[in-house]
Amino acid sequence: MKPVVGGGAGQPRACSCRPKAGYHGAHARRSGLGADPGHPALCLDNCSAAVPRPPKALPWNAVADRASSSSWRAWVLGGLLPAYLLTTFGFTLARVRGDSMLPTLRSGDALLLLKYPRWLHAAGLWRAYPRRGDLLVFKAPADSGYAYETVYGVRHRPYNIKRVLGLPGDTVAIQDGRVQVNGQVLAESYASEGFVQDQAAQRVPPGKVWVLGDNRRLGESLDSRAYGLVSLRDVAGPAGLRLWPRPGLIAR
């Protein structure tokens, strides 16, 4: 007999059954196992045994979809997000192109670019940035004729690497081929020999730096002698380490 929910006249009603009083009920109470398996529970009052409906089946891909969605979110939050934060605010890799920094750096050298000093300085937590002698990675002033280049038909604003010699508040000049800062000649053991054209004294305003390439041979480096002062807003950060092919600290 099929169970009927809310049965009508003359039809059995769905109900919850209990064992009929007697042997089976007593046996159930003693054993704690319910009705005797050999004698199913008897229903009273002409009602059928209530049969629970089976649970509704989930779509075949429901569990897989939930698992894959969770895995995707975990992969994004656990992998991509930390990588993005690290390369944006921590450090990243940079590769040298050209000979303007010879003999300190060679074309193809791989460097570790430190980005966190810039953000700490902007937050007022790192005042000694940049330091004189640091190798800064930056973009040339946008209003100069050296800011953009075209590669494969695409015009973009590349990064440069030069040594910062003039800090905000300094007065920089080149006299007799030697760089002077605040009237003092800099000892530049890292620079190559070559002709350096004299330049009149120039005061570096706040938020700017004066940069120069280590390769002092005529025409080998485009730097502040060509495009002027560099804004700190255009500086990505200092290059702290050479990773390849000669690992080690970079001379300051």
Q: What is the pLDDT of residues 71-83, one digit of tens each?
A: 777 776 777 888 8
- Provide the mean pLDDT of the chain: 81
The pLDDT tens digits of the residues spanning 43-67 come to 444 445 555 676 666 554 555 555 5
Tokens standing for residue 175: 């006299």
pLDDT band at residue 69 using 50, 70 and 90 as cut-offs = low
Q: Exposure string (b/e) for 175-203, b if CB count within 10 Å is 16 or more?
A: eeeebbbeeeeeeeebbbeeebeeeeebe
Contact 134, 238 (CB under 8 A): yes
pLDDT at residue 86, rounded to an integer: 84
Give the pLDDT score at 66: 56
pLDDT at residue number 87: 81
Could you say which DSSP state residue 79 is in? I
> Which residue's structure tokens are 């002062």?
229
Token pair recorded at residue 152: 């494969």
The residues annotated with a catalytic role in the active site are 100, 162
In whole angstroms, what is the distance from residue 20 CA to residue 194 CA?
Answer: 113
The pLDDT > 70 percentage for the chain reads 72
pLDDT at 252 (0 to 100): 78
Contact status, residue 186 vs residue 168, Cβ threshold 8 Å: no
d(Cα 62, Cα 68) in Å, to the nearest integer? 10
The lowest-confidence range among 8-17, 54-63, 114-123 is 8-17
CA–centroid distance for 76 within its chain:
11
d(CA 46, CA 25) in angstroms, rounded, equals 19
**Half-sphere exposure of residue 175, counting CA atoms within 13 Å on the CB side?**
13
Which has more pLDDT, 3 or 172? 172
Strand partners, 135: 163
Tokens of 140: 């040339």
What's the chain's Rg over C-alpha atoms?
40
Distance separating alpha carbons of residues 184 and 201, to the nearest angstrom: 12
Residue 80 CB burial class (10 angstroms; 0-12, 13-18, ≥19):
exposed
pLDDT value at 98 more than 50: yes
Coil vs helix vs strand at 28:
helix
pLDDT in tens, 165-200: 999 999 999 999 999 999 999 999 999 988 888 999
Task: Locate 145 and state its tokens.
Answer: 């004729």
**pLDDT at residue number 6:** 45
Confidence of residue 29 (pLDDT cuts 50, 70, 90): very low
Higher pLDDT residue, 252 or 119? 119
